[in-house]
Amino acid sequence: MSAEPAGTRHHEYVLDEIDRQLLTLLQKDGRLAYSELGNATGLSAGAVRARVLRLQEDGILQVVGVTDPLRLGYRNMAMLAINVDGDIDETADAIGKVDGVIYVILAAGSVDLLVEVIATSSDELYEIINRRLRTVPGVRTVETFMYYRIHTHRFAWGVVPD
C-alpha cells in the first residue's frame, strides 16, 4: 500500500474557474466557511460544500493544519538523499511506513528518493536513519542533510490556469 495521498499518481483533472478560485482561497486560509467561499465565488454555501467535497474525494485538496515540527518539540529534522537498488516504488512504499518519515519524493537526478524525517533527539534521528531506513530492502546509500531551521515554508502557490 502506498503512503501517498489519493489522486497523486499523475491524474489530470479538469478544473473550472470556480474550482481554481476555491483552491486559491483555501490555500490562503483553509478555515474559510462555505458561506465565505460562496460570497467570493458567487455560489451558494451548499454548492461550495459539494465542490470542496469533490475536490477532496478526487485527491486534489486536503485541508490540514500545517505545523513547524521544530517548534513542536522535534529537535532534529533532516532531508535524506537515498539511492535504491531494485524496485523504487516498493522501496519508497516501505520507507513511507517508517515512523519519523514525513514525506517521500521520487526524484530525478543523482539520487532516487528525497526523504524528510523528524526526530525528538539526535539519538532518535540516528535510530531512524541507521536502524530503520538503512535496513529497508533496496536502500543502497543514504546521505543526510540536517536542518538548522525552516526558512521558507509556502503552501499558497496558486492554481495552474487553463
**Cα–Cα dist 44/34, whole Å:** 8
In a domain, 162, yes or no: no
Q: How many C-beta atoms surround the C-beta of residue 138 within 10 A?
A: 19
In angstroms, the Cα distances linking 130 to 42, 123, 124 are 54, 10, 10
Give the domain range for residue 53: 17-57
91 and 115 both lie in a single domain: yes
- 133 neighbors 98 (Cβ within 8 angstroms): yes
Domain count, the chain: 2
In a domain, 5, yes or no: no
pLDDT confidence bin for 12, thresholds 50/70/90? low
75 and 47 both lie in a single domain: no
In a domain, 158, yes or no: no
The predicted pLDDT at position 11 comes to 58
Cell of 134: 538503512
In a domain, 40, yes or no: yes
In a domain, 134, yes or no: yes
CATH number assigned to the domain comprising residue 37: 1.10.10.10
47 and 73 both lie in a single domain: no
pLDDT in tens, 138-153: 999 999 999 988 888 7
Burial of 153 (0-12, 13-18, 19+ CB in 10 A): exposed
In a domain, 157, yes or no: no
In a domain, 81, yes or no: yes
What pTM was estimated for this model as a whole?
A: 0.74
pLDDT in tens, 26-80: 988 999 999 999 999 999 999 999 999 999 999 999 988 888 887 888 899 999 9
The predicted pLDDT at position 154 comes to 78
78 and 111 both lie in a single domain: yes
